[in-house]
Structure 1
């Protein structure tokens, strides 16, 4: 008889998802391999998902739900489980993104996670990470956060980027071309506004670092800053008001969205559109 690993649904949202998947599969009278054949996955992979050893991709969950006739049960179980792919300290921030009516962002170093391409996100998240150490799951979790911008009623996302973000070559020229093109793709959307704070501004109210402000329909706004290993959030009206003033001044100082798009297009063409990727220095 095979050694079947016992599951603890209360251990985490991912364990609960795995236990639900196993329960539904067994109720349908399917082996791991039979279910795998239906949804085009290996039985081994499904077994690893059931035991929370492996995290499924978001695109797999609707297929599994349909194949098992779960009527949305797996989709509902996946909602809390997918946040488990994020660092514990960031999960509350992801919830704020999902529930906010408006998100105001100032980024001094990087393109904000809600606007990153997959390749750009992979380069950022891969820094100081051992190969294969959960990178795929982290990248997918970051991209999954972006689904809030695809909703019928998405939040308003207002982003101010320091001009340095356009020139910091994350992942190489091709990655940056794709990333700047992604920023330009939002030009016709009223709910996503992108401004660039030019170098010529000199000193400005965001010199102390990047920050976000989340506004909600029925609760106080929250100011948020991210550190290396954790984030800091506050709903203290004094701190939120002070941060909001900084943001208003940044937005007033930055280029308009139209002027910002012209600058982004210029940098993409001038810096990243021509020539091969730089190779290693020739050996003398």
Structure 2
């Protein structure tokens, strides 16, 4: 008799997802392979998700909902699953991102996670550890789904010019990433300003930080270290960094000039003309 791994649906959102997937599949009288054929995935993948060894994707969840008549159950569960896969210290940040009506971020050396392209995400997460890179990339990209809500937050990002010049991945990855930034140019809810090198000393020299504003709750300041996050609602600290952010936005290029600089860096630093040898 084939051993069947028994999941505890209360162990985690991923376990619950797998438990429900197996329950509804068996109720439909389908084997893992048969369901995989219907979904256009392998039966092995279905089995890995059922046993909580693989993180499901948006596309997989939507197809399962349709195939098993689940009424959107798996698409709804996916939000909890992906959030639970974030590092424990970062889960509170994802919750802040999901609840905030306005997010103001300053980034020193890399593009903010909410603005990262898939290839850039893989390069960042794979810098020291390539284990489970597909799943970890999907989890980080899932944070960007906050912009798909009926009322997405206003997002304001001030990026140091250094973030455009730090070559993460390779030149093709950077071209794609900068093109991704430019794609937000006409989105009034996602605003990107570049703080140029010519700004010199500025109010953000201490490091990157993010401010989360809510309808009724106090504003939260978030800073980050190696493997740890530091949210704070201390009024004096929040007031100080709010003032710093105002100065950073004032010192940064306008939205239009920022987009033009991003295009220029994309073409001059990472453009295809640089591939040829003189």
User: Which position in structure 2 is the counterpart of 1:153?
Assistant: 151
Candidates 234, 239, 255, aligned match of 1:241: 239
- 1:86-125 Cα distance to aligned partner (Å, 9 max, x none): 1111111111111110000000010001111111111111
8 A contact 2:62–2:75 mirrored in 1:
yes
1:173–1:277 Cα contact (<8 Å) kept: no
* 1:188-227 mapped onto 2 (5 Å cutoff): 188-227=186-225
C-alpha displacement of 1:57 = 1.7
Aligned counterparts of 1:164 and 1:218: Cα–Cα separation in 2: 35
| Partner SS for 2:223 | strand
C-alpha offsets along residues 143-187 of structure 1, whole Å, 9 cap, x if unaligned? Answer: 111121233321111000111111111111111111111111111
Gap runs ≥5 in structure 1: 279-284
CA shift for structure 1 position 38: 0.6
Partner of residue 282, structure 1: none
Q: Is the 8 A contact 1:106 1:159 kept in 2?
A: yes
Distance 1:277 1:172, change over 3 A: farther
Q: Contact 1:195–1:260 at 8 Å: present in 2 too?
A: yes
In structure 2, how many angstroms separate the alpha carbons of the residues matched to 1:182 and 1:21?
A: 35
- 1:93-108 matches, within 5 Å, as 93-108=93-108
Structure 1 residue 11: Cα displacement: 1.0
Question: In structure 2, do the counterparts of structure 1 residues 277 and 63 end up closer, same or farther at CA, with 3 Å as the change threshold?
Answer: farther
- Alpha-carbon separation, structure 1, partners of 2:227 and 2:149: 30
Q: Write out per-residue CA displacement over residues 225-275 of structure 1, whole angstroms, 9 at most, x where no aligned residue.
A: 121101110112121111111111111111111111111111111111122
Q: Give 2:142's aligned residue.
A: 144
Cα pair 1:7 1:15 within 8 Å, conserved: yes
**How does 1:66-145 map onto structure 2 within 5 Å?**
66-129=66-129, 131=130, 133-145=131-143
TM-score (norm: length of structure 1): 0.94
Contact 1:186 1:193 in 2 (8 A): yes
> C-alpha distance in 2, partners of 1:177/1:54?
31
Conserved? CA contact 1:172–1:277, under 8 Å: no
Aligned ranges for residues 11-50 of structure 1 at < 5 Å?
11-50=11-50
In the alignment, the residues of structure 1 paired with residue 276 and residue 239 of structure 2 have an alpha-carbon distance, to the nearest angstrom, of 45
RMSD over equivalenced CA pairs, Å: 1.3
**Aligned partners of 2:96 and 2:276: how far apart in 1?**
39
- Match of residue 165 from structure 1: 163
* TM-aligned CA deviation for residue 72 of structure 1: 1.8
* Structure 1 range deviating more: 97-106 or 237-246: 237-246
Paired with 1:137 and 1:230, the residues of 2 have a C-alpha distance of 21
What is the CA–CA distance in structure 2 between the aligned matches of 1:93 and 1:55, rounded to whole Å?
A: 20
Query: Structure 2: 5+ residue runs without aligned partners?
Result: none
Aligned length: 276
Question: Normalised by the size of structure 2, how large is the TM-score?
Answer: 0.96
More helix by share: 2
